[in-house]
Amino acid sequence: MENKKSGYIKGRRHFLKVSSLASAGVVLGCNAPFAFSSSMGEHRYKIAVCDWMILQRQKLSAFDLAQKINADGIEMDMGSLGDRRTFESKLDTPGTQQEFLEKSKETGVGISSIAMSGFYAQSFAKRPTVNVMVQDTIDTMKAMKVKNAYLPLGVQGDMAKEPELRPLIVQRLQWAGKQVGKIGGVIAVETSYDAAAELDFLEEVDSKYVKSSFNFANAIKNGRDISDELKILGRKNIAQIHCSNTDGEWIENDPAFNMPKIKKTLDQMGWSGWLIIERSRDTDRVHNVKANYGANVAYMKEVFQNS
């Protein structure tokens, strides 16, 4: 218990240190949405949080909260899915899209990617209107000037457990790659495969517009070394990274992580891009959004932007 308390104090110091820089007018975040730019601005690595995990799904206030915890960006969700034909999205009208773009500019908080989080629980392989969902997402990417779309192949898209799904998913991703390629975007897909199998999968899809959204939590869960996995996948195959673990400890207190080693690996690979915090909440204060995400953002910035 003493160690956890010590970790909390240390993490809070990181949070306060970075927050104080923001209050003093030192802008560490990006000044505009991604806007299909290959430039990462001031920093090689940008730190984002998921809007649905900070309880701000498709809300303008997500930008304000992200600014308060000094995140560089948010991963914005397309909305819930359920049994609908497509996502329940507010971002389907030019007026609303413009409001979000203006808020992004006002706060200096960018949009790392547009997420199709509905596929955590729904089947990308079997849903009959997947083409509609994907096209709606691509239209939103174009309107919001965002390069990446995050596609998690969740419990109903686990090709390691259900290999018979793979041909269907490959076929649909080949189509999605062609569509997103028309706007110069990328489908960042998360699988349950290890890096070697995921690389083989991406080669089968055979689209430069379909890449990996690498999730540290998946590697940890399966006892894989994160740095080794990153090197196997390679710089050109990684569109973005979900850099947190499951809930339990903050990132800096989690013994499963060696973030300085991971940064060194990414540096050596020449990779740059968005590091997105999804979970890694302290279960003793799991509902304290500012404390959890503030501490995790501060620590990730300390490692990836200030060292």
59: nearest Cα among 31, 87, 91: 91
Q: What CA–CA distance (Å, rounded) separates 69 from 290?
A: 7
CB 253 within 8 A of CB 7: yes
78: nearest Cα among 57, 97, 61: 57
**What is the band of 225 on the pLDDT scale with cuts at 50, 70, 90?**
very high
CB 305 within 8 A of CB 45: yes
State the chain's mean pLDDT as an integer. 90
Q: What CA–CA distance (Å, rounded) separates 217 from 98?
A: 34
**pLDDT above 60 for 18:** no
Side-chain-side CA neighbours of 47 within 13 Å: the count stands at 25
**pLDDT above 60 for 215:** yes
Residue 307's pLDDT is what? Answer: 74
Query: What tokens appear for 88 in the block?
Result: 């329940």
Q: How many CB atoms lie within 10 A of CB 82?
A: 10
Q: How many residues belong to the chain?
A: 307
Read off the pLDDT of residues 34-43 as tens digits, 9 standing for 90 and up: 344 333 457 9
More confident residue, 209 or 32: 209
pLDDT more than 90, % of the chain: 86
**What is the band of 10 on the pLDDT scale with cuts at 50, 70, 90?**
low
Residue 24's pLDDT is what? Answer: 38
**What is the band of 15 on the pLDDT scale with cuts at 50, 70, 90?**
low
pLDDT more than 70, % of the chain: 87
Residue 28's pLDDT is what? Answer: 33
| DSSP H stretches of helix in 110-194 | 130-144, 166-181
**pLDDT above 90 for 254:** yes
Residue 26's pLDDT is what? Answer: 35
* Structural domain spans, the chain: 2-22+43-304
Query: What tokens appear for 235 in the block?
Result: 């710089």
Residue 42's pLDDT is what? Answer: 78
The residue whose two tokens read 């290959």 is 38
Domain 2-22+43-304, CATH number (from 3.20.20.150, 3.40.50.720, 2.60.120.380, 3.30.499.10): 3.20.20.150
Query: How much is the pTM?
Result: 0.88
CB 205 within 8 A of CB 170: yes
Q: What CA–CA distance (Å, rounded) separates 76 from 187?
A: 14
CB 91 within 8 A of CB 100: yes
Question: Which of left, alpha, beta for 58 (phi over 0: left; psi -120 to 50: alpha)?
Answer: left
**What is the band of 7 on the pLDDT scale with cuts at 50, 70, 90?**
low
**pLDDT above 70 for 6:** no
Read off the pLDDT of residues 48-89 as tens digits, 9 standing for 90 and up: 999 999 999 999 999 999 999 999 999 999 999 999 999 999
In degrees to the nearest 10, what's the CA dihedral of 188, 191, 196, 197? -120
Of 16-25, 50-59, 111-120, 198-207, which gets the smallest average pLDDT? 16-25
